[in-house]
Each structure stands twice: as structure tokens, then as C-alpha cells.
A and B are shown apart, each in its own frame.
Chain A
Amino acid sequence: MSLYVIARIQDEEYALDIEKVQTIEKMMPITRVPQTESHVKGVINLRGEIIPIISLRKKLGLEEKEYDEDTRIVVLKAYDMLVGVIVDNANEVVDIPEENIDKLTFSDASDDFSKYVSKVGKIKDKVLLILDLKKLLDVRM
């Protein structure tokens, strides 16, 4: 069993390893942090803890969208950090069987879109892009 949280951006569906998902929150006030890259939206106070927030849209090189009722912050805990990721929607958990997951081998992963996706999962006729958290969170190791 490998469960994934489905996060929607535009019409694309991204999958996040549920093991790494700490919590999913509705939109809340974000305090901007200066001298950061454009995808860093700032920090939030999540029950007494300060958590950096990034925009997945920006990170993937897409236009940003007004936050609405469906906007969610998916708080990830990975590589010793807590980071919240803003997505358009996240309300589904799926089970992708191991054999339906394929590694992507891009000859050049230059465009932002494919840079953060290293695997794809298939469920019936749907294709889910599994996000590579190590790349998404700029972990240099």
C-alpha cells in the first residue's frame, strides 16, 4: 500500500506521499518574509509553530491564482523541515499500487513543470504526477 494525497493545480493532479503530509489546513494569514525567492509566500503560525509557506503554482512556473474556499495548505514534514505548500485543492487520498508507478526519465528536465516530478502513477485511466519532495524543497544532499 502506498497512499498519496491528491493536490490539484490547474487541471493537473499531483500526488504527495501521505507519510510526508503532516496536516492539511485551510488558508490562513501569511506573514511575508523579505529577501526570499518569489515562490516563498511567508510564514504562518500553526498552533504556535512557525511554518514557512511556498506556492506550488509559483514553484511549477504557473501563474498565481486568487485564494478561495478550496485553497489548501498542505504541511509537509520531510528532510528535517516543516514546509507548507499552497495548492488549489486537496481533498482526496488514493492508493497507487507499486506496480502502477513508473519512473520518469526525462532527457532534459529543464522546464519547471517536469523538474519536480520524477515518478508517475496510474489509476484506471488517470495519470498522477508524483512530486519529488527532495527537489521541491531544494534539499541539497
Chain B
Amino acid sequence: MENNQYIDIFIEESQEHIENLNSNLLLLENDPSNKQIIDEIFRSAHTLKGMAATMGFENMNKLTHKMEDILQDVKNGKLQISHTIMDVLFRCIDTLSEMLDSISQKGEDDVPIDELMFILSGINSDASLEEVAATKEEVVDNIPLNVYEQDIIKEAMKDNYKAYKITVYIDKGCVMKSARAFIIFNSLDEIGDIINSSPSVEDIEDEKFDDRFTVHLITKEDKGNIEKRLLSIAEVSRIDVEAINVDLSKEEEKFIKEVSSSQSQSFDALKKSQNNKTSKSVRVDIDRLDNLMNLVSELIIIKTRLEGLEAHNRNSETVSTIEYLERITTNLHDAVMKVRMVPMERVFNRFPRMVRDLSHELGKKIVLNMYGQDTEVDRTVIDEIGDPLVHIIRNSIDHGIEMPEERLKKGKPQQGTINLKAYHEGNNVIIEVSDDGRGIDIEKVKAKAVEKGLFTSEQVNDLSKEKALDLLFKPGFSTADKITDISGRGVGLDVVKNKIESLNGSIEVLTEVDKGTKFVIKLPLTLAIIQALLVKIGDEKFAIPLNSISEIVHKKEEEIHNVQGREVVLFRGRVIPIIRLNEVLETKKLSNVGNLVCVIIKKGENLACCTVDELIGQQEIVIKPLGKYLSNVKVIAGATILGDGQVALIIDANNLF
């Protein structure tokens, strides 16, 4: 299919519009009389309809069309926003996103819509509207003139200009319709001024028209001349020229007004939204950005090499040139990194809807406050953090926030609050999810641990609060009294924790009974560039991510003890295992001088002491994957290219022990 190359763009843009619809509907629910929001919703629905129609997705087209009708009624004040209408509109959006999923998987929008269409028809009893926007052909033929355009024609007519409505039919077999249209436009421009066209000029340029289009022209030429001129252009099959008089009969005027208020307004809106998009952002494939990133890292490597060469040859001219180069590469690097950053908004956007639906379902009253949506994070992180957050928020809604009556009894406001916060902290981004619900009952957690056989009842009593809360992240651990649809199957928090740790992040819980619970997630800003400690093991260089290093200590060989066949060492009162990296990494064993350089690595609560032969220093490194062929090497997280072009492997601290 010819459309194939556009399908990705279509899917992405539609997704944006659906997101947009979702958030605007939520706004509308709280502020049903806000005209601006209704307009915004209408615009999104209209654009979706247009895109679906061009791509040939019938069901989607039909559904958005119906939605548009309802929104039109709302806009005109014929229909009052009610709970039912909101619910139906939300259902429409869900169905639309189902369709989109189906399109991206199978290339078809075969989601059943009959039931929804029926409900929609019930709401939208006004049939006259359907006629107005009935078929595309009719729209083409009844190209509306808005008041402004009518004024132009009136003015022009005073100066002896004539106005014509010209419909141009292009040969069905014409291959480059837009190019042909361009020639026609040019030729018309020579003899007069084109006031407007249907479809819009943009659509014609994009070949979004069948075999004809209509324009309004003011000119001094007469009808015959125009026809002659246009018919001389190749591949034009027919021309209809019709003189128009602005002193239209009353009936016609009324019709035009009615149509133009809906149609042209939405055309304007369409144009406006397009303009906004082009001026604000450019869509770029992530692969291209990665490529750019690669090139920049290479430039940095070459620059470092150049600096090395220059050290021998002290020439003030080259020194200043290289310094200049250095400044540029640093700036370039920063700029490329910034391009890859996206605001947290992308993830946060879906939560208001989720909170709304779930709280309705459970009969709870919950308000969600979001802060720091514009906090920027690398693409790689954004794509991964969504699911864990969904899980935590669901937990808060289901387990955290109490039922309204219960809250009143506790002297809390009926409405529960969930706060979602994102902010930067150094090279990390912190995401906090807090609720003012019932909190986590530590005693219950402990009891559960005993029940599961994780601890004996004596052991449990010695557990600190933090330790006990950590149990929540154990697989299969759930304290929910009843298992609900939403959460409580015990497959939640351990998955969340794993995910976050695989992103080199950490998660923490703070809770107080009847006050609330707070989850704090800490993630690196980017997964592509990290701070690392370069070390020498044997005669090879390795990088250890800095965020998995707790500290560096020196130990003597005689401080190592053997416990049950394992080497351990005492570190701050704790017994921690020794990992001899030269053995794990199969490097040459250097002659032991009895003094060990130990890098203390942390993995959650656990520590391990890794021996290395030499510390080189801290450096910012670009992580590159080892490639699919070597994807099963567990202890290596990737590779990086050092200043001299050498490759250094990155140790995956999470898989060392």
C-alpha cells in the first residue's frame, strides 16, 4: 500500500491527539462550560477524523465523525455535558486507542464500534448536523466563504473585478496531481487573486484530494478566457466556472453562515494546529539521533587524540585552535544530549485519566496533583519508567486511599490526594508518588513475612522499619486483605523494583500509618552517558558505573577471612563477600603485593568488595551495547570508547553477585 510510509507518522500523531483528547476531556469534566477546551477537543477529533479518512481507516473515521457531531452540539449549546456523555466520550477515546493498537499491529482498525455508534446516535438526535458534514463531495462543492472573504469580494467588485467559483477536474490517471494543481494555481495567480480553495492549499500540496478542487478567484478576465487558459493545461479534463455574486439570497447566506461557522472554523483550527506543530518541533527518528550521538562521541575521541599529538608540538597557533575545537565539541555534545531529552509530561499525561477511572470504579474520591511535568529526562529513561509508575499509582489508589466514609471517620477530608512530583537532583531525576491514605501497617507486613516463612516470629521483631518495608519488594508479597482487579496479586512491587534497578536507579518507601505513603524513585538522567570509575584489572581497563559504587577502601591480604568456603572481609562492622574481579573477568593475575584496592559495590542493601589492581580515575563515558551476538555476557553491561580509541568494557555491578 502506498500509505505504508506514512503509517508510522499517522500512528504517532494520532497517539498525540488521543492523549490530547484525554487530558482535555478531563479538564472539561471539571469545567464543563469552558468553551476553549471544547474547541480544543473538537479540533483534535476533527484532525483525527481527517487523518483516518486519508489513511483509509473507515471505522476510525466513522467514530471520530460521530464524536465530532456530539462535540458540535456541545459547542452550540444544544447539548449539556453530563456524566453519561463524558463516559461515552471517554469510551470513544479508549476505542480509538484500541484501534490505533490494532493498526500498528495488523494495519487494520477492525475494532467493533457498532455498540458505541448506537449509543452515540442516541445522544446525537439532531439529524440536521449530519447533513451539513455529510459527504466529502458536498463539502467540496459547497465551498464556504466566510465574512472576511465576502468582504474582499465586495471590495474587489467595486473596482470592477469579477468573482468566480472555479471547479477544476483533473484527469483520473494523472500521476502528480499536486504538481498539476500547482501549475493551475500559478496560472490563475497570473490573471487574478485566489481567495480560498477547497480542499485547503496544504491538502492539495499533500495530494489530499480526489480528482478535483474548487477555488474562488477575483479577476478582471471574463469567464471564457479563464476556461481557455485552464483547459490549455495538460491533464485538466473539465472546468466549471461560475460567476458569484456576493449579494447572495438570504437563504443561501444563512446556509453559508451555518456551514462556514463549523467548517471553515475547523479548517482554520486545522491550519493553526499544523502551524503550531511545525514551528515548535520536528519529529526525528531516534536512530538518527543515536547516529548523531555516535558521531559526536567520535569527534570527542579524535579531539582527545589531537590534544595528545599537540602536547609534543607546542605551537601557540595550534594550541588556540585546539582549544577552540574543544569548546565547540563540548557544546556540541551538550546540545546533542539536550535534543534527546523529553519532558516527563510524556509519562505523566496518562495518569489523570487512570486516577479518574479507578477512583470512579472503586467509589473513592481522589484528586491527583502533578508537579514538574517539564522535568527533562533522556528518551531511554522515559520509555522504561511508565509501567513502574502505573503500578505504584494503582497501589496508592487501591490500597492507600481509604473509602470516603472511612476518611471522614478518621477526621481526614473526604477527598484523598495523590501527589506526583518530578525534579532534578544532580545527575539524577527524582520521582515521588505520595498519598494521604492509610499508610502501610508494619506489623501486618511482619506478620505476613512470618506466615510466608521468610522469618521466624523472633527474627521479625528485630527487624527495623526500613528492613520490614523492604519486604514489600520481595516476589509474591502482598498485604492486601482482598485481591482486587486493580492490585494485590503480589506481582507488583518486586517487578517495579527490578525494573528500576535495571535502569541503575533505586526505590524507597516512606510510610506512616494513617498519614500516608510515599515512594521515592531515583533514576539517572540518561542511560546513554554515565559517570564511571575507570580501573585496571590485570593489564586491561574496565569501567564501573559510579552510581553502583559505595566507596573505595584499601584492605590487606590478611584481613580476608574464609567463611564456609567463601572469602569475606569486615567492612564497617558488616561481613561482606570479596569478589576477585580478575577471576570473574578472566584477566591476568598480577603479583600480589599484599595490599588490595577494593571497590565497595552496592546492590540495593547488599554490599560486596571487589578487588581491582589499579584505579585510573573518574570519567564520563558513553555506553554502547556489545551487540546482539554477545548479548548473553552477564557481567558486562556494555562497552565504551576511551579517549585513545581503545574499547573498555563496562562492568554490570548488578550481575556480579
B305-317: CB near A (< 8 Å → 1, else 0) gives 0000000000000
Cβ of B1 within 8 Å of any chain A Cβ, yes or no, is no
Cβ of B479 within 8 Å of any chain A Cβ, yes or no, is no
Cβ of B634 within 8 Å of any chain A Cβ, yes or no, is yes
| Complex contact A48–B294 (CB within 8 A) | yes
| Complex contact B540–A83 (CB within 8 A) | no
Of chain A, the residue at the smallest CB distance from B623 is A50
Which stretch, A31-39, A57-65, A115-123, touches the partner chain B? A31-39
In Å, the complex CA distance between A48 and B296 comes to 9
| Complex contact B626–A31 (CB within 8 A) | no
- In the assembled complex, the CB of A140 is this many whole angstroms from the nearest CB of chain B, namely 12
B612-652: CB near A (< 8 Å → 1, else 0) gives 00000000000011111110011110110100011111000
In Å, the complex CA distance between A45 and B640 comes to 9
Cβ of A9 within 8 Å of any chain B Cβ, yes or no, is no
Cβ of B248 within 8 Å of any chain A Cβ, yes or no, is no
| Complex contact B633–A33 (CB within 8 A) | yes
| Complex contact B297–A48 (CB within 8 A) | yes
Q: Which of B297, B629, B630, B645 has the most chain A CB within a 10 Å cutoff?
A: B629
Of chain B, the residue at the smallest CB distance from A40 is B630
Q: A33-B626, A81-B627 are in contact. Are A44 and B647 (CB under 8 A)?
A: yes
| Complex contact B585–A50 (CB within 8 A) | no
Cβ of B298 within 8 Å of any chain A Cβ, yes or no, is yes
| Complex contact A51–B295 (CB within 8 A) | no
| Complex contact A31–B633 (CB within 8 A) | no
Our pick among B585, B587, B627, B635 for the contact of A52 (Cβ within 8 Å) is B627
In Å, the complex CA distance between A82 and B626 comes to 10
Q: Which of B645, B646, B647 has the most chain A CB within a 10 Å cutoff?
A: B647
| Complex contact B298–A34 (CB within 8 A) | no
Cβ of B584 within 8 Å of any chain A Cβ, yes or no, is yes
B290-327: CB near A (< 8 Å → 1, else 0) gives 00001101100100000000000000000000000000
- In the assembled complex, the CB of A36 is this many whole angstroms from the nearest CB of chain B, namely 6
Residues of A within 8 A of B633 (CB): 33-36
| Complex contact A36–B646 (CB within 8 A) | no
Cβ of B586 within 8 Å of any chain A Cβ, yes or no, is yes
| Complex contact A137–B629 (CB within 8 A) | yes
- In the assembled complex, the CB of B654 is this many whole angstroms from the nearest CB of chain A, namely 15
| Complex contact A36–B540 (CB within 8 A) | no
How many chain A residues sit at the interface, stated as a range, is 20 to 34
In Å, the complex CA distance between A35 and B626 comes to 13
| Complex contact B647–A34 (CB within 8 A) | no
Our pick among B298, B584, B627, B638 for the contact of A83 (Cβ within 8 Å) is B627
Residues of B within 8 A of A31 (CB): 540, 639, 646-649
Cβ of A99 within 8 Å of any chain B Cβ, yes or no, is no
In Å, the complex CA distance between A32 and B650 comes to 12
Residues of A within 8 A of B641 (CB): 45, 48, 50
| Complex contact A34–B584 (CB within 8 A) | yes
Residues of A within 8 A of B586 (CB): 32, 34-35
Cβ of A43 within 8 Å of any chain B Cβ, yes or no, is yes
In Å, the complex CA distance between A82 and B629 comes to 8
- In the assembled complex, the CB of A50 is this many whole angstroms from the nearest CB of chain B, namely 5
Residues of B within 8 A of A40 (CB): 630
In Å, the complex CA distance between A54 and B629 comes to 10
Interface residues of B in 106-157 (CB under 8 A from A): none
| Complex contact A29–B646 (CB within 8 A) | yes
| Complex contact B627–A33 (CB within 8 A) | no
- In the assembled complex, the CB of B528 is this many whole angstroms from the nearest CB of chain A, namely 13
Of chain B, the residue at the smallest CB distance from A30 is B647
| Complex contact A34–B627 (CB within 8 A) | no
- In the assembled complex, the CB of B271 is this many whole angstroms from the nearest CB of chain A, namely 42
Q: A50-B626, A80-B628, A81-B629 are in contact. Are A35 and B646 (CB under 8 A)?
A: no
| Complex contact B645–A45 (CB within 8 A) | yes
Residues of B within 8 A of A81 (CB): 627-629
- In the assembled complex, the CB of A83 is this many whole angstroms from the nearest CB of chain B, namely 5
In Å, the complex CA distance between A135 and B591 comes to 42
In Å, the complex CA distance between A88 and B324 comes to 44
Of chain A, the residue at the smallest CB distance from B627 is A52
A68-84: CB near B (< 8 Å → 1, else 0) gives 00000000000011110
Cβ of A126 within 8 Å of any chain B Cβ, yes or no, is no
| Complex contact A43–B298 (CB within 8 A) | no
- In the assembled complex, the CB of A117 is this many whole angstroms from the nearest CB of chain B, namely 20
Cβ of A103 within 8 Å of any chain B Cβ, yes or no, is no
- In the assembled complex, the CB of B648 is this many whole angstroms from the nearest CB of chain A, namely 7
Q: A52-B627, A81-B628 are in contact. Are A34 and B648 (CB under 8 A)?
A: no
Q: Which of A36, A45, A49, A83 has the most chain B CB within a 10 Å cutoff?
A: A45
Our pick among A48, A52, A82, A137 for the contact of B298 (Cβ within 8 Å) is A48
Residues of A within 8 A of B635 (CB): 34-35
| Complex contact A48–B628 (CB within 8 A) | no
In Å, the complex CA distance between A52 and B647 comes to 11
Residues of B within 8 A of A36 (CB): 630, 633
Cβ of A47 within 8 Å of any chain B Cβ, yes or no, is yes
| Complex contact B636–A45 (CB within 8 A) | no
| Complex contact A45–B297 (CB within 8 A) | no
Residues of A within 8 A of B648 (CB): 31
| Complex contact B630–A33 (CB within 8 A) | yes
In Å, the complex CA distance between A66 and B625 comes to 29
Our pick among A29, A32, A52 for the contact of B626 (Cβ within 8 Å) is A52
Our pick among B584, B626, B634 for the contact of A43 (Cβ within 8 Å) is B626
- In the assembled complex, the CB of A55 is this many whole angstroms from the nearest CB of chain B, namely 13
- In the assembled complex, the CB of A133 is this many whole angstroms from the nearest CB of chain B, namely 12
In Å, the complex CA distance between A54 and B585 comes to 18
Of chain A, the residue at the smallest CB distance from B622 is A48
Residues of B within 8 A of A50 (CB): 624-627, 638-639, 641, 647
In Å, the complex CA distance between A36 and B625 comes to 16
- In the assembled complex, the CB of B294 is this many whole angstroms from the nearest CB of chain A, namely 5
In Å, the complex CA distance between A82 and B631 comes to 12
- In the assembled complex, the CB of B386 is this many whole angstroms from the nearest CB of chain A, namely 26
B570-587: CB near A (< 8 Å → 1, else 0) gives 000000000000001111
- In the assembled complex, the CB of A71 is this many whole angstroms from the nearest CB of chain B, namely 19
Residues of A within 8 A of B585 (CB): 34
Of chain B, the residue at the smallest CB distance from A36 is B633
In Å, the complex CA distance between A47 and B624 comes to 13
In Å, the complex CA distance between A55 and B587 comes to 20
20 of the cross-chain contacts (CB-CB < 8 Å) are: A29-B647, A33-B636, A34-B584, A35-B634, A36-B633, A43-B626, A44-B647, A45-B641, A45-B647, A48-B295, A49-B294, A49-B624, A50-B625, A50-B626, A50-B638, A50-B639, A51-B627, A52-B627, A52-B629, A82-B627
Since A29-B647, A50-B639, A81-B628 are in contact, a sample of 18 more A-B pairs with Cβ atoms closer than 8 Å, ordered by chain A residue number, is A31-B646, A34-B633, A34-B649, A35-B635, A35-B636, A36-B630, A40-B630, A43-B630, A44-B647, A49-B294, A49-B624, A50-B626, A50-B627, A50-B638, A81-B629, A83-B627, A83-B629, A137-B629
Q: 5 nearest interchain CB pairs? A: A31-B647, A48-B298, A34-B585, A81-B628, A34-B586
